[in-house]
């Protein structure tokens, strides 16, 4: 089946089209696909729920809020920043130990959207007595744990996973979409993964924000988890299914409508994501983004 085509329309005119590849996996088998299920991409921030699992295994003192913010690409709102500070307090660590770059105004490492993930990696280091300096670098024990959990969840060999450097400086991992979907389908059944999944369900607004596709999906489909990633990636799981969607052009704006279309084919209605309004600087609706068919 062809990729899902998502269109941006303004005044009835199509301004852009995005091709989105999608796959669904259940019990290790592909049950639905649109486009290329074997397409290889870096997981980027969609890895964060997986990257939180080693800390969940090592630290029984981490609660739902801690594990949710460790899985988040937050927007630095008050609740999200408070969650990062609380996690750093448990680590224990100071903000200047975070090895992500500064963001926001005024700039702060705490405000970086990956600061919760970095705090979780520091928590892992403290639990095992590892040096924390350079925890973000390939070869550090923390990043070897990250590689291992991706291999475990996706059921592939570690040396089969290409790696790169993510936007926040840690290692990022590449997998075929089908393996990403498989990994998410297994996440809640892994040791420690059950705690991470429960945390995401309990705090969907910490994961991103009220207008984000992953947050909306979790609040709309009972029991599901979801996590978006840079360059147009979205992974989700629920009801025994794992799904992965990737925009060919790297744009994330069409992922919500594409997910609604794909999940609709699987019998899961998601009307909240079917249409993304386009607004001008005055907040007036001037167009919309939706699947072409």
How far from 19 is each of 8, 14, 255, 261, CA to CA, in Å?
Answer: 12, 14, 10, 13
Per-residue confidence band for 189, with pLDDT thresholds at 50, 70 and 90: very high
pLDDT, tens only, 263-287: 999 999 999 999 999 999 999 999 9
**pLDDT higher than 80, residue 50:** yes
> pTM of the full predicted structure?
0.97
Give pLDDT, residue 56: 98
Question: What pLDDT score was predicted for residue 195?
Answer: 98
Residues 3-23 as b/e (b if ≥16 CB within 10 A, e otherwise) read: bbbbbbbeeeeeeeebbbbbb
pLDDT, residue 10, reads 96
Domains of the chain, CATH where assigned: 4-291 (3.40.710)
């Amino acid at each position: 089946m062809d990729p899902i085509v998502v269109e941006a329309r303004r005044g009835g005119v199509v301004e852009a089209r995005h091709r989105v590849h999608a796959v669904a996996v259940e019990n290790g088998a592909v049950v639905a696909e649109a486009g290329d299920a074997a397409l290889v991409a870096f997981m980027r921030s969609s890895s964060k729920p997986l990257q939180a699992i080693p800390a969940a295994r090592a630290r029984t003192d981490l609660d739902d809020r801690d594990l949710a913010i460790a899985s988040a690409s937050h927007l630095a709102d008050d609740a999200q920043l408070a969650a990062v500070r609380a996690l750093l307090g448990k680590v224990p660590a100071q903000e200047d130990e975070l090895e992500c770059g500064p963001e926001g105004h005024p700039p702060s490492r705490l405000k970086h959207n990956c600061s919760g993930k970095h705090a979780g990696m520091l928590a892992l280091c403290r639990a095992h007595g590892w040096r924390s300096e350079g925890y973000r670098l390939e070869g550090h024990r923390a990043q070897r744990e990250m590689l291992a959990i991706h291999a475990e969840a996706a059921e592939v060999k570690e040396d089969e996973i290409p790696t790169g450097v993510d936007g926040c400086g840690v290692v990022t991992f590449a997998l075929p979409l089908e393996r990403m979907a498989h990994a998410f389908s297994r996440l809640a059944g892994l040791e420690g993964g059950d705690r991470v999944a429960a945390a995401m369900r309990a705090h969907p607004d910490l994961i991103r924000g009220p207008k984000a596709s992953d947050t909306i999906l979790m609040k709309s489909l009972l029991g599901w988890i979801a996590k978006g990633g840079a360059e147009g990636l979205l992974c989700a799981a629920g009801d025994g299914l794992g799904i992965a969607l990737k925009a060919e052009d790297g744009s994330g704006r069409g992922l919500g409508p594409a997910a609604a279309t794909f999940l609709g084919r699987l019998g899961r209605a998601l009307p909240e994501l079917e249409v993304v309004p386009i607004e001008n600087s005055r907040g007036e609706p001037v167009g919309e983004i939706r699947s072409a068919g």
